[in-house]
Amino acid sequence: MDLSFWILQFLNAMQYSMLLFLLSIGLTVIFGLLHFVNLAHASLYMMGAYIGISVAAMTGSFWAAFFLAPMFVTLIGAVLYFTLIDRMRTAGPMNQVLVTFGLIFVFLDLVRMGWGDIALGLDGPASLSGTTRLLGVDYPAYRLFIIALGLGVMATMWLVLARTQIGAMIRASVENTNMAAALGINVSKLFFLVFCFGCALAGLAGVAAAPILSATTTMGITILIPTLIVVVIGGLGSLEGAIVGSVIIGFMETFGAVMIPSFSAVLTYALLAVVLIWRPQGLIPARG
């Protein structure tokens, strides 16, 4: 086990963390602003992967899929917003969880009808198909791309939230929605925009993950649990929480698999239990 081994595992952990980050950030931003627990977020991730596969098959280009799939998913999100999400906003968390849980079932069968039961794959772009030398190790270029994508989204969001007017409006609405509305911020428009943005990120995560993970009809349900664990450990609704949560889970699962493989199946659950017993609101609870 020399240094290059640990560098490889570090990169593996980073890659997995960033994938989790892309998924959980959308979920947590929606919760932070709308106070809506959208379990169907995982289904939108699945839609991103499947739509991406279809777009790539039609156009023959991964990049077309990469850009178009999140747009289609955003469209689905917008439809959901006007049919269900908006009217469920004040219905309480229990009802929101149930409605979006129902949506998971609906999306599951929609995908089975549209794409069949057989697992599908998506080829990554040819330009990223090989390995790249980094820190003295050869690492798959596409995985580096995922790391870069995650870091890029993270930095962009940080900048937008901290430096721009819309960021200020979002922060104000997270702190106190009523006050923000009183100050003349069009809160419902803001909600819609943020919801669409969250859906786009879910679609992006789906299409970005497809070349590494295959697309299966159960991928939404299986990714739901790790994503929820990430946002709950971090603290539901906080951007920092999503970052901390995904890095903790990503690194723990990777190094758990390396060092104590026989316990890796329960490691995340054990961590979740410990965190919630110790800090019932997660590590970095959202304000407001």
Partner 1 sequence: MKNIATKLALVTGLCLNLGFTMISTASAETKVGLLLPYTGTYASLGNAITEGFELAIEEAGRTEEFTIVIEDTEMKPPVGLAKARKLVYQDEVDVIAGVVSSGVLGAMRDFIHQSQVPLIVANAGNNLATGENCSPYIVRVSFSNGQINRPMGTWLSENGVKTIYTLAPDYAAGHQMIDAFTEAFTAAGGEVIGSEFTPFGQTKDFGPYLTNAQASGADGIFVFYAGGEAINFVKQYGSFNIKTPLYGSGFLTSPLYVEAEGDAAIGVRASLHYIPTLDTAENKAFIKAFQAKYNTMPSEYAVQGYDAALALMAAVDNGGVDRATLASQLPHVSYVGPRGPLEIDPATNNIVQNIYIYDTVMENGALTQKIIDTVPAVRDDVAGCQM
Partner 2 sequence: MFYQTKLRSITLIAALIFLACYASFGSYFAREIVVEIIILAILAISLDLCAGFGGMVSLCHGAMMGVAAYGFAIMSAKLGWPLFPSALIGLFAAVVFSGLVGWVTSRTNGIFFIMATLAFGQMAYTFFFKSRWLGGDDGFGGISRFDLSMIGLETNDSLVFTYIGLVILLLAYGLTAIVMRSGFGRTLSGIHVNEDRMKALGVNTAAHRAKAMAFSGFIAGLAGIIAAQHTLYISPELLIWTTSGEALIVVILGGLGTLVGPIIGAILLVLMKHEISNYTDYWHAFIGLVLIFTVLAGGRGVFGQIEYWFNKLTQKHQSTTKPHGDDHA
Buried b (16+ CB within 10 A) or exposed e, 211-226: bbbebbbebbbebbeb
Q: Identify what 82 binds: partner 1, partner 2, none; CB under 5 to 8 Å per kind.
A: none
Q: Identify what 142 binds: partner 1, partner 2, none; CB under 5 to 8 Å per kind.
A: partner 1
Beta-carbon contacts of 288 under 8 Å, excluding residues fewer than 6 positions away, are 32, 174, 175, 176, 177, 237
Alpha helices in the chain (DSSP H): 3-34, 41-59, 62-80, 86-88, 93-115, 141-163, 165-175, 177-182, 187-209, 219-234, 239-259, 264-278
| 119 touches partner 1 (CB under 8 A) | yes
First CA to last CA across the chain, in angstroms?
A: 47
- Give whichever of 174 and 230 is closer to partner 1, judged by the CB atom: 230
| 37 touches partner 2 (CB under 8 A) | yes
Q: Which residue from 82, 218, 270, 276 is in contact with partner 1, where contact means CB under 8 A?
A: 218
List the structure tokens of 49: 């992967």
| 42 touches partner 2 (CB under 8 A) | no
Q: Which residue from 75, 78, 98, 212 is in contact with partner 1, where contact means CB under 8 A?
A: 212
List the structure tokens of 176: 């106190």
- 66-95 footprint of partner 2 as x/- string (CB under 8 A): ------------------x--xx--xxxxx
Give the binding site for partner 2 (CB under 8 A): 37, 84, 87-88, 91-95, 97-99, 101-106, 108-110, 112-113, 221, 225, 228-229, 232, 236, 262, 265-266, 269-270, 272-273, 276-277, 280-282
